[in-house]
Amino acid sequence: MQFSDNITEVKGIGEKTAALFKKLGITTVSELIMTYPRRYLTYDSVVPLAECEEGERVSVMAIIVSYVEVKKFKSISLTTLTARDESGSMRVVFYNSPFLKNVFHKGQSFVFVGSVKKKNGMRTMEMPEYYTESDYERMTSVMQPVYPLTAGLSNKIFQKAVRSVAPLIMETEDYLPSFVKEEFSLKDRAKSLYDMHFPENQDELKESVKRIAFDEFYAFLYEVKLLRDINSREVNTHRISSEVRYKLNEFITMLPFKLTNGQSQAVNDIYNDLSSGQVMNRLIQGDVGSGKTIVGAAALYMMVISGYQGALMVPTEVLANQHYEDLSGLFKSYNIRVELLTGHTPAKEKRHIYDRLKNKEIDIIIGTHALIQDKVEFANLGLVITDEQHRFGVRQREKLEEKGERPHVLIMSATPIPRTLAIIMYADLDISVIKDMPEGRKPIKNCVVGTSYRKTAMGFISSQIKDGHQAYIICPMVEENEALDVENVTEYKERLISAFPENIRIEMLHGKMKDDEKTDILMRFRNREIDILVSTTVVEVGINNPNATVMMIENAERFGLAQLHQLRGRVGRGDAQSYCIFINSKKTEESMERLRVLEESNDGFFIASSDLKLRGPGDFFGVRQSGEMEFEIADIYNHADMLKLAQEAVLKYSDTVKPAKLSKGFGTL
């Protein structure tokens, strides 16, 4: 077997299973190997039933004291039994698993692993894992990897697949020469990859994570260095004309608001870049709501009045629509022609847009990634802006070159990175930081509360709506999930509709909806045709509705702090006082403690640095990151030391040491 083989070559994986793996982005053996466990389960010693905390994952050894009953309700079958230990008894429930009647028998003893809940006054465990006593004993000594899964693909299947390629993992070549590994005290690559999947103990795992993080950073920074070398040689072939200075001042004076110092400085930096001898490669870094869009608009304006075209690229169709609305409004009085191009633009219209772009009948085009990838031709593309998105790698730059002379590049990002790390990660870019918020903004008022506060919160939301404002309610899930006791938008919306009077307009939004449906809902929300938007985290990126003043986040304990901060950035975007209510459904003090950071501060940098100290229970590696830097394992905060080492290694050895091919996590670099 080879790394490049299709995973159907792996023993036990047929076409059907392969299709499931594909859903996770895994088609080859090396992709399988580089899909690391999300976390590791350790099986603790068993606890007496009477001592089980509600909602905590526990292991219980109990004897089955009842007959196993199978009942059918419509399409669902329920298998139930009663089990007890010396301290008490519980009901055990399985859904759609009638075959278990042949597994469990009265009088047998099993270890059940799951969370105990009170249901109808009875201690109940739903869908627990179950093991014989001897199997369980064997497991308590090993860390069990838990892989990212999809419906139909169980952790067992995943584990087995990885197990059968284990010998191959050990054959992985190490791109780092021994002396470099020694210099930086790094573990062997093959052994690290192996230990990611089959860790002997915490220490081995820790060293492996460090090594993999180093590799990801090295590959990233290697590319960054290439980019920097290229950038420093590129000549500005799209200089702005001399009249830009005073026209720009006029443009700024005509805006409905006064630019903040940070915005003015950023616009100035861009002006200087565009009139210099070198191509612009600039990053605008500013917290959510700091007003990056208008800075981008000013850059587009400078280009267009100098006779060039500009493109604005965003990660989602919804955001493209929003920017299109805002910018076409802004540029109307200047006779600047703005168009929108997305995956949903009808074919005929697309062709028409292509023609007009080529003939220079469009000045600014707004759209998703397809903008630079498709067969789009420009008459004279001078500037590409990306919002909340990946920077351009070498390959994309080549694509851009094909469209004519290399245009200027501006990247707008809300990722809060401390300056010391930003200098490393963005070594190929010049950076403008917007530190201040627009005048008149009132800091968001935050509260972290338990579920008992929900009723009061609803009353508060009602009163905000009466005042003409709008609200977001965020739930983690799209639909009900039997295994998880977590809020979902589908049911939540129904509940709200029956709880609120009819004149309150409630809609939902989630990632499984079609793009045009999503866009439609968001546009209606922005036009104040919807009062409460019940949504998953799809609203997290870039959405702007300054009239929305409340956000309530259900199951806040399930999200990372940085993500919660991004979410809450959807309110507090206008003059009115805004509020964010974090509902904490977990009763532990730790969970409360972690969320309180959000009460303390509205500053993204502060939140991000607290986030590493206070990871949520789910995010073992704290994988959630912004689009620009998607690493599988590496985390710039947690592994800042590895980032610095990798930086040192790149500076010293990049001439001779080429990075490993990382099939995952670098799709867009």
Interface contacts to ligand ADP, rule CB under 6 A:
257-260, 263, 286, 288-294, 438-439, 544, 546, 573
State the binding partner of 260 from ligand ADP, Mg ion, none, CB within 5 to 8 A by kind.
Answer: ligand ADP
**Run of H or E including 520:** helix 515-526
Total length of the chain: 669
Burial classification of residue 375, based on how many CB atoms lie within 10 Å of its CB (0-12 exposed, 13-18 middle, 19 or more buried) = exposed
Distance CA 267, CA 256 (A): 17
State the binding partner of 294 from ligand ADP, Mg ion, none, CB within 5 to 8 A by kind.
Answer: ligand ADP
What does each C-alpha distance from 556 to 137, 293, 413, 457, 531 come to in angstroms? Answer: 35, 29, 24, 15, 22
CB under 5 A: which stretch of 236-244, 535-543, 546-554, 597-605 binds Mg ion? 535-543
State the binding partner of 291 from Mg ion, ligand ADP, none, CB within 5 to 8 A by kind.
Answer: ligand ADP
Measured from the CB atom, the residue of 145 and 289 that comes closer to Mg ion is: 289
Cβ-contact 58, 33 below 8 angstroms? no
Measured from the CB atom, the residue of 414 and 474 that comes closer to ligand ADP is: 414
Q: How far is the CB of 420 from ligand ADP (least distance, A)?
A: 23
| Cα end-to-end distance, the chain, whole Å | 29
Pairing of strands 76-84, 89-95: antiparallel
Pairing of strands 122-126, 89-95: parallel
Measured from the CB atom, the residue of 157 and 433 that comes closer to ligand ADP is: 433
Measured from the CB atom, the residue of 145 and 542 that comes closer to Mg ion is: 542
Does residue 114 interact with Mg ion by CB under 5 A? no
Q: How far is the CB of 538 from ligand ADP (least distance, A)?
A: 16
Burial classification of residue 481, based on how many CB atoms lie within 10 Å of its CB (0-12 exposed, 13-18 middle, 19 or more buried) = exposed
Q: In whole angstroms, what separates CA 390 from the centre of its chain?
A: 13
Does residue 542 interact with Mg ion by CB under 5 A? yes
Cβ-contact 461, 453 below 8 angstroms? no
**Structure token pair of residue 132:** 């014989």
Does residue 289 interact with Mg ion by CB under 5 A? no
Query: CA nearest 620: which of 129, 34, 36?
Result: 36
Measured from the CB atom, the residue of 79 and 626 that comes closer to Mg ion is: 626
Cβ-contact 387, 311 below 8 angstroms? no
**Structure token pair of residue 133:** 């006593």
Q: How far is the CB of 263 from ligand ADP (least distance, A)?
A: 6
**Structure token pair of residue 414:** 């809300």
Measured from the CB atom, the residue of 526 and 586 that comes closer to ligand ADP is: 526
Q: How far is the CB of 562 from ligand ADP (least distance, A)?
A: 15
- Measured torsion, CA atoms of residues 31, 37, 38, 41, in degrees rounded to the nearest 10: 170
Tokens 């201040």 correspond to what residue?
A: 436
Distance CA 142, CA 198 (A): 9
| DSSP symbol at 481 | -
Measured from the CB atom, the residue of 350 and 435 that comes closer to ligand ADP is: 435
State the binding partner of 573 from ligand ADP, Mg ion, none, CB within 5 to 8 A by kind.
Answer: ligand ADP
Q: How far is the CB of 570 from Mg ion (least distance, A)?
A: 11
Measured from the CB atom, the residue of 130 and 301 that comes closer to ligand ADP is: 301
Measured from the CB atom, the residue of 260 and 321 that comes closer to ligand ADP is: 260
Measured from the CB atom, the residue of 275 and 601 that comes closer to ligand ADP is: 601
Question: DSSP alpha helices (H): ranges in 151-291?
Answer: 155-164, 166-169, 178-183, 189-197, 202-231, 244-254, 261-274
State the binding partner of 288 from Mg ion, ligand ADP, none, CB within 5 to 8 A by kind.
Answer: ligand ADP
Q: In whole angstroms, what separates CA 167 from the centre of its chain?
A: 33
Q: How far is the CB of 76 from ligand ADP (least distance, A)?
A: 45
Q: How far is the CB of 294 from ligand ADP (least distance, A)?
A: 5
Q: How far is the CB of 629 from ligand ADP (least distance, A)?
A: 19
Q: How far is the CB of 264 from ligand ADP (least distance, A)?
A: 9
Query: CA nearest 286: which of 569, 582, 493?
Result: 569
CB under 5 A: which stretch of 343-351, 436-444, 542-550, 571-579 binds Mg ion? 542-550
State the binding partner of 659 from ligand ADP, Mg ion, none, CB within 5 to 8 A by kind.
Answer: none
Q: How far is the CB of 306 from ligand ADP (least distance, A)?
A: 23
Q: Name the residue with the smallest CB distance to ligand ADP.
A: 291
Site residues for Mg ion, 460-519, by CB under 5 A, read none
State the binding partner of 208 from ligand ADP, Mg ion, none, CB within 5 to 8 A by kind.
Answer: none
Distance CA 480, CA 490 (A): 8
Q: ∠265-432-224 over CA atoms, to 5°?
A: 155
**Run of H or E including 407:** none
Measured from the CB atom, the residue of 396 and 415 that comes closer to ligand ADP is: 415
Tokens 């603790």 correspond to what residue?
A: 44
Q: How far is the CB of 287 from ligand ADP (least distance, A)?
A: 7
Measured from the CB atom, the residue of 37 and 310 that comes closer to ligand ADP is: 310
Q: Name the residue with the smallest CB distance to Mg ion.
A: 542
Looking at residue 560, its amino acid is G
Number of residues that bind Mg ion (CB under 5 A): 1
Q: How far is the CB of 189 from Mg ion (least distance, A)?
A: 39
Measured from the CB atom, the residue of 295 and 646 that comes closer to ligand ADP is: 295
Q: How far is the CB of 559 from ligand ADP (least distance, A)?
A: 19
SS3 content of the chain, % helix, strand, coil (to 5): 40, 20, 40
CB under 5 A: which stretch of 35-43, 147-155, 225-233, 539-547 binds Mg ion? 539-547
Residues in contact with Mg ion by CB under 5 A are 542
